[in-house]
Structure 1
Amino acid sequence: MELLILSIFTFFFLSRAELPGTWDLLVPNAGISSMHTAVTRFNTVVLLDRTNTGPSRKMLRKGHCRLDPHDAVLKRDCYAHSVLFDLQTNQIRPLMILTDTWCSSGQFLHDGTLLQTGGDLDGFKKIRKFDPCDINGSCDWVELDDVELSEGRWYASNQILPDGSVIIIGGRGANTVEYYPPRNGAVLFPFLADVEDKQMDNLYPYVHLLPNSKLFVFANNKAVLFDHETNKVVKGFPPLDGGPRNYPSAGSSVMLALEGDYSTAVIVICGGAQYGAFIERSTDTPAHGSCGRIVATSPDPIWEMEDMPFGRIMGDMVMLPTGDALVINGAQAGTQGFEMASNPCLYPLLYRPGQPVGLRFMTLNPGTVPRLYHSTANLLPDGRVLVAGSNPHFFYKFEAEFPTELRIEAFSPEYLSPDRANLRPVIEEIPDTVRFGEAFDVFVSVTLPVVGLIEVNFASAPFATHSFSQGQRLVKLTITPSVPDSGNRYKIGCNAPPNGAVAPPGYYMVFAVNQGVPSVARWVHLVA
């Protein structure tokens, strides 16, 4: 019997060690626990938390303090609640945020500025901007005084539109939409009221801009097609089986890569809590692992169902440069909310959309740091995925079963393994700016001779919070086969995305992908 137990124990750990992917600790102490995370075109990362959590572990610059007589913890707060993280040096610089950003929303504008909207208390109607810079610059948060949101936005979702404006959808008690720059105030969106329930499962709705310029908006277990030009719902979709998926039921969603003639958009929604877990404050109710997949552009769409290997709440779905999606972070029981989850799900999953049902999910090498409520995941320009945050407590709490997490990690998918290094392309030349529909050339070098096509893919830099990356998209360009240029250098003819519905204007990480192995991205500005 002892020999049998030892054999099982040895097999488990050997199997675990052989799973694909690797983990790296980037920063042992970022100073704050990031509730909201965004990667900038300067290869820096904006990390952002609430302002009313009390002391963080990062001081503001000497002489810089936030004065707030209404703060329940610190009237004079000299601690940072936002920082700028440099990916090359791992350096951290504190940023000054004045108003409460708890459960707010965000989106990069067409000029690369990060727009940040709403929050709680004094941040309820606030609009903020962050014009990014490198780590040695002086960029910082700017809170707009001349304009505010028409309605308070707490738990809302943002999406950049084809013309570069941003729609802001929903929020607690806000069954409306509005726009930035402002456009005639808040507009009633009855769909959000129709799907509201005792759990408030209409919060942080999943919003995807389809290539036909309409918005796929999902809340609770239902979705509609919304025309942002007329502010009208033009179509309803069948309900998704498995119960509510949005906050606080804590599923996640992605739109799969747009490619070909860009006429087809596929939405995937995975995971969630059992209905009632939030109301009953049940921490041990098992999460479900069901996923729905729907062709949102189909005239007669239906949900195709499948199951993940693990039940999961609060998982983050990240589109990788290859077109696969990574599911990472979260728990296997409970629900979203303070101290309301248990049994961390340490195993990332690779979702391979080209495989048949039942073969799409691959289990990857588990991490060791639980990432629960208020954790984030973002694609990095080098192809890794940055993982930050996790604070399942109302304040910072470092002595707990699941403590406030200040560590920043990076997960490397299997395509970055050493045995594939010879396949990894290097982008040698690419334009800094391209226009919609423009033909342009990309020059890459590869150690081994090229076999097949080298893809050139545009990946957005989304605003990640609460298990959903607002504005996330991947666009595979139409290309010509690579042509030898000189030595191990190749020329690839590309056509930029045709319009802002396929890829809204802004800065994109552009990856060359050779046999499933992505290059380090180059930032390219896509303009009208």
Structure 2
Amino acid sequence: MAVASAFASIKSGGIPGLFFLVGLLFTCACRSLRAQQLPGTWEVVLEDARIASMHTAVTRFGTVVLLDRTGIGASRLRLPRSRCRIDPGDSLLPPGGKDCSAHSALLDPSSRRLRPLSVLTDTWCSSGQFLPNGTLLQSGGDLDGLRKLRAFSPCPLAGSCDWLELDSPLLADGRWYATNQILPDGSVVIVGGRAAPSVEFYPPSRPLRNFPFLATAEDAQMDNLYPFVHLLPDGRLFVFANARSILYDVDSGDVVREYPELDGGPRNYPSGGSSTMLPLDPADGYTRAEVVVCGGAQYGVFLHRQTDMPAATTCGRISATDPDGAWAVEEMPFPRVMGDMVMLPTGEVLIINGAQAGSQGYEMGSNPCLNPVLYRPDQPAGLRFMTLTPTTIPRMYHSTANLLPDGRVLVAGSNPHYFYRFAGDFPTELRVEAFSPEYLAADKASLRPVIMAAPERVWYGDEFVMEVEVPLPLVGLMEVNLLSAPFATHSFSQGQRMVKLAVSPAVTVADGGGDGTPYSYRFGCKAPPDGRVAPPGYYMAFVVNQMVPSVAHWVQLVL
């Protein structure tokens, strides 16, 4: 209409109309240019994974475990007949309940190949965590999976590793919508779940404990499910549920402190906010830990099925180790519910996936949030968020996002329906994508380090040497950052952690040249002091040069 009016004005000799038209066209061109210049790129890694991934985890072999739920009939991924499961309670299966389809798979993002895995009990809304030896421990679920533990000892895609259902021990409480966190001694604490305001441990060397905080945090819409649990560098737990948080001594079972309430509505399931702990830094002796909680729904949205109610626009940030820590609230560029927060090798946080209205739950969200956002914690308040290139694929309820060793972020899942449904609004999504942050752009290649030598295993407090090659001479210190491989589900990455290492100045091993010969450097690193700072297990070690990371080298941190 505005363009038509401008042309009419020009036709009648109106100069103002000419100026208006030029300005309008310039504005449209600028908007188009800005859209094209948003940082980051997308690619489809797999056109059809044949299952939707409700839970996703990256193994030390660089393979990715995709895990859905059982009890939804047959998937599109076939199993060998020798590995079929029997589920008479699944009404979508043939009489007798024989299911020869897979509900889990192992993906190699590099070759883009897939191998089916066999899971026997229901993993619907379950929890998980990697153990110190690299085994993925998977806990709980629904129905026959409510008290089950499962283990997956990873291998390369060509191997034969598969899920192992543990007959013993069983969980002391049924765990549906619980959260797992590895502890400094390598054991795992399993926190909460529906109708389970308690904590228990694996191995079960400590008894089941009541956890009244989750009972008191619960309201009519159960916003205490999938609590946000972070291990602080003093060995205690920061636990967030609904809009409240506490400091919990996991050894004594005492609530040491209650933090101020975070304004802005509920944040946990089914309100679908997300959380991460910012990097731990040797500059302050690993004594300071900041937690960020972003997004969520308004009170009553899930209960009253208000699918079009705008989601929360705020992030809260608190120094959980500061005795006087209080929430600082920031505004995101978009409202977001069901978003995932992924720690990047640079120490920045990618906020990705989700919707701009509604809540978690089947068909409870609307208006997909297609633009990822970069949160830059070291920037001044008000300048921390950067809008990134949008995807074309909505990622609604039951989506996941995981950092890969090559620095990309793998995005999978999205099934906001009780069963698989491939028609209508937000159909079940079987495509797997990868988002490449700006640091992987071609114009950053001259800064990208390549790790040439690094240890496979280090002990706490160890000093060790790494060697890298870089196309251009170094300017300043490089960083070495350890990132865990978390278990991503329901908008929270259980066990996600980044620990910066103390690094000595680099020593030149070989000068590069104009013929393309890279520069070679050697430098010393110091491992974290203990398991409170970095629990034992496998980490992706990234070398970062001027905010451009290498491909990760997997290193095992040993007790």
TM-score w.r.t. the length of structure 1 is: 0.99
Q: How does 1:450-465 map to 2 (within 5 A)?
A: 450-465=474-489
For 1:82-101, list aligned pairs within 5 A: 82-101=104-123
Q: Which residue of 1 aligns with 2:15?
A: none
**Partner in structure 2 of residue 78 of structure 1:** 100
Inter-partner Cα distance in structure 2 for 1:429 and 1:439:
14
The alpha-carbon deviation at position 185 of structure 1 amounts to 3.4
2:320 is aligned to 296
User: 1:24-63 counterparts in 2 under 5 A?
Assistant: 24-63=43-82
1:186 has 2:208 as partner: yes
For residue 292 of structure 1, report the CA deviation from its aligned partner. 0.5
User: What TM-score results when the alignment is normalised by the length of structure 2?
Assistant: 0.93
Q: Does 1:172 align with 2:194?
A: yes
* Counterpart-to-counterpart distance in 1, 2:292 and 2:209: 28
Q: 2:171 corresponds to which residue?
A: 149
- CA distance in 2: counterparts of 1:425 and 1:272, whole angstroms: 38
Alignment partner, residue 268 of structure 1: 292
Query: Once the two structures are superposed, what CA deviation does each residue of 1:1-60 show, in whole Å capped at 9, x if it has no partner?
Result: 225766554433322111000001100001110000000001100000011122211111
Q: Deviations over 1:459-508 (max 9, x none)?
A: 00000000000000000001111111123111111000110010000000
Runs of 4+ in 1 over 6 A off after TM superposition: none
Does residue 134 of structure 2 align to residue 112 of structure 1? Answer: yes
1:437 and 1:78 map into 2 onto residues whose CA distance is 49
Is 1:126 matched up with 2:148? yes
1:294 shift after superposition: 0.3
| Aligned AA (2:531) | G
Give a deviation string over 1:280-299, Cα, whole Å, max 9, x none: 11110001111100000001
> 2-side partners of 1:14 and 1:391: how far apart?
33
- Larger deviation, residues 182-191 vs 273-282: 182-191
Is 1:393 aligned with 2:412? no
* 1:183 shift after superposition: 2.6
The residue type equivalent to 2:39 in the other structure is P
1:480 aligns with 2:504: yes
- Structure 1 Cα separation of the partners of residues 341 and 92 of structure 2: 34
Matching of residue 354 in structure 1 with residue 378 in structure 2: yes
Query: Which stretch of structure 1 is more off in the superposition, 455-464 or 9-18?
Result: 9-18
Shift of 1:88: 1.8
Secondary structure of the residue that 1:272 maps to in structure 2?
A: coil
Query: C-alpha distance in 2, partners of 1:489/1:317?
Result: 34
Pair 1:497-2:528 in alignment: yes
Aligned residue number for residue 432 of structure 1? 456
Amino acid at match of 2:447: L
Q: Which residue of 1 aligns with 2:242?
A: 220
Residue in 2 aligned with 1:523?
A: 554
Letter in structure 2 aligned against 1:158: N
Matched, 1:412 2:436: yes
Is it true that 1:279 corresponds to 2:303 in the alignment?
A: yes
State whether residues 72 and 90 of structure 2, in contact with CA within 8 Å, keep that contact through their aligned partners in structure 1: no
Tell me the residue number matched to 1:19.
Answer: 38
- Percent same amino acid at aligned positions? 63
Deviation at residue 61 of structure 1 after TM alignment = 2.1
Q: Distance in 1 between the 2:169 and 2:234 partners?
A: 31
Q: Partners in 1 of 2:101 and 2:424 — Cα distance?
A: 22
Contact in 1 for aligned 2:48/2:431 (Cα 8 Å): yes
- Tell me how far apart the structure 2 counterparts of residues 8 and 38 of structure 1 sit (CA, whole Å): 44
Counterpart AA for 1:510: A
SS at match of 2:32: helix
Deviations 1:117-142 (A, max 9, x none): 00000000000000000000000000
Distance 2:159 2:105 in 1: 13
Deviates more, 1:99-108 or 1:226-235: 226-235
Please say if 1:333 is aligned against 2:357. yes
Question: How many angstroms apart in 2 are the aligned matches of 1:39 and 1:268?
Answer: 23
Shift of 1:207: 0.3
Contact 1:47 1:83 in 2 (8 A): yes
Whole-angstrom distance in 2 between the partners of 1:169 and 1:396: 29
SS of corresponding position for 1:284: coil
Q: CA deviation at 1:193?
A: 0.6
Q: Matched residue of 1:288: which SS?
A: coil
Match of 1:305 among 309, 329, 332: 329
CA distance in 1, matches of 2:53, 2:28: 36
CA–CA distance in structure 2, aligned partners of residues 303 and 184 of structure 1: 33
Deviation sequence 1:227-267 (CA, Å, 0-9, x none): 11111111110000111100001100000000021000000
Are the equivalent residues in 2 in contact too, given 1:327–1:350 (CA < 8 A)? yes
Q: Say what the alpha-carbon RMSD is for the aligned residues.
A: 1.0
| Distance in structure 2 (CA, Å) of the matches to 1:494 and 1:289 | 40
Letter of the 2:117 partner, please give it.
L
User: Structure 2: 5+ residue runs without aligned partners?
Assistant: 4-20, 512-518
Letter in 1 for 2:556: H
1:67 counterpart = 2:86: yes
Which region of structure 1 is more displaced relative to structure 2, 162-171 or 477-486? 477-486
Structure 1 pair 470–436 and aligned structure 2 pair: CA distance change class (3 A): same
AA of the residue aligned to 2:70: T
What secondary structure does 1:475 align onto?
strand
Deviations 1:367-395 (A, max 9, x none): 11000000000000000100000000000
**Residue pair 1:36, 1:49 contacting (<8 A) in 2 also:** yes
Note the residue ranges of structure 1 that are not aligned, 5 or more in a row.
none
Q: Please list the CA deviations of residues 300-355 of structure 1 after superposition, one character each: whole Å capped at 9, or x if unmatched.
A: 11001110000000000000001000000000001100001110000000000001
Tell me if structure 1 keeps the 8 A contact 2:357–2:365: yes
The residue type paired with residue 303 of structure 1 is W
Question: C-alpha separation between the residues in 1 aligned to 2:409 and 2:543?
Answer: 17
Within the candidate set 201, 212, 236, 2:223 is matched to 201
Q: In the alignment, is the contact (CA less than 8 A) between 1:208 and 1:255 conserved in 2? A: yes
SS in structure 2 at match of 1:459: strand
Letter in 2 for 1:217: V
Query: Which SS does the other structure have where 2:83 is aligned?
Result: coil
Rounded Cα–Cα distance in structure 2 between residues aligned with 1:286 and 1:330: 12
- Name the structure 1 match of 2:279: 257
Q: 2:233 aligns with which of 211, 219, 231?
A: 211
* 2:538 matches 1:514: no
Distance 2:275 2:72 in 1: 29
Counterparts of 1:349 and 1:218, CA distance in 2: 23
Distance 1:50 1:12 in 2: 43
What code does the residue aligned with 1:243 have? G
Is the CA contact 2:265–2:312 (under 8 Å) kept in the aligned structure 1? no
Contact kept, 8 Å, 1:26 with 1:90, in 2: the verdict is yes
Contact residue 16 and residue 366 of structure 1 kept, 8 A: no
Bigger drift between 13-22 and 404-413 goes to 13-22
Instruction: Report if aligned partners of 1:162, 1:213 keep a CA contact under 8 Å in 2.
Output: yes
